[in-house]
Structure 1
């Protein structure tokens, strides 16, 4: 990695992340006392820009679209330029990088990442869209089926750059869920579809139920993560030129939602039961912690946040790590955020 000094808040970030990766950390009240409140449910321990505009083994470190915790406690970070990094979970220093490719050896527009129980990687690409499974060395092992309606037009009803962004395994590791970023043509513009797959006895994934989720107007879903009790953390994000990013974190519950896989357009009549959601925080409400922005933002802490993983938990508090995608753009920043998110049963 190109040498560069750690930024001002890396020490605070590292301390927060160390607590986040420790399952025996302090209880909810004490955990929130050590952070900075964004809302009654969310606090921020710190942020780090240490990887911004750096390289590792001649590969640009950035464009991060997804994060996942490895079984050995390290951090997997997926670049949408088809590179999969392993980072030290405490310092963020890269340990390795693996290139990914499709069946023809072409780089992916890789957006979502989940680590299966056997250590293999599930990676979504928003181009077709597709989900593929890779070995630890980046060898292509499998490709999952995708419903025709979710394919990019004209093959299906999805819009380009609006397909599988979020990817997560539900508790138990046998159900995979992918979130579309934007609505299908013909659906209400605020309703996006969440598709699931069930792992078979032979290790493949078969199509499962599909659910509908309503975003706030003008926002899309760049990331989703399953909580230990089967609910979902959902990031909603938007961008307005001259104003900046909107990034909101919701707690959503797919239990009881209608399977929409057989419903052509949404909302249906009678309206299908959508995934319920509760706002946890608008990240513009977080303290800025001295962060600076390279372009207008409602809070200088904000950037193009689109990666998220749960790094640990106590009884009712999740330790959550976010990362922004800098698009290799000089006006954007690769930034990591350590959050504590309080949930209720």
Structure 2
């Protein structure tokens, strides 16, 4: 039994004394103890070495005591397993030297045996579970098929993912084949994560907001829905679509346990658009963690009041930034722990 099950109870919609808190990208760049590991090992070595990944996962828990841990990994381990080369270039980000642009390219992408190709992730989960010792739940994650396609086709990060959209709009058959391959791989990958011990999973649709509402349904949401359908009986699923407020109503009927909300959508609108019955997660602007700690605490309390303490998980509206002062991250977590209903 997990001693602090506040996060899991919030996912079930149970009444709680205060909402749980964790932060997207909490395991990573803003922590000096992470920077020490980073000096010694390159990015994918950190992901692929269970001892390192598990250590990085628990670092923020030791420091701040969040109510959930999220496994240190990367969404791009999935394309790597699918026979697509991915490099992580310092001061640049992900770089895929052979982007997928044609039907022939799509044909070369494989649906792998995830138990073999991604075994290091499951070993990291087991190592992390030992370190956590059932104190708090562990979250596993994957990128949405659309978001993975964006990187596979663009070959790098982008402000508009124009090449990814071009493939979808000029070669829709190839695009849907690629999306289905990613979906099938992701379902197998997340199921194996649950079997290895994660207590919940989150699907990150980081680039969903790049699509119009109509295109979102065709090229993103229907594939996320397949993932939710395949996983929801095995573990709670959180769906997070950055910039996808327009889809909250449909998402709320998907069988997901919770929906992530970014900082551009108010608590009131998020509750209204999602029908008011599903657990929501978010939506503090990550840049607002640059505000003075006293102000952060005040804003967090206001955010909880706006969302309501039940069916709510306190989080950022996207990943924590590398330049956030340690005491400011602490103020964010402490504000939730100190929260009392007025």
| TM tier relative to shorter chain | 0.3 to 0.5
More strand by share: 1
More helix by share: 2
Output the TM-score relative to the length of structure 2: 0.34
Output the TM-score relative to the length of structure 1: 0.33
Quick one: higher RCO (CA 8 Å, sep 6+), 1 or 2?
2
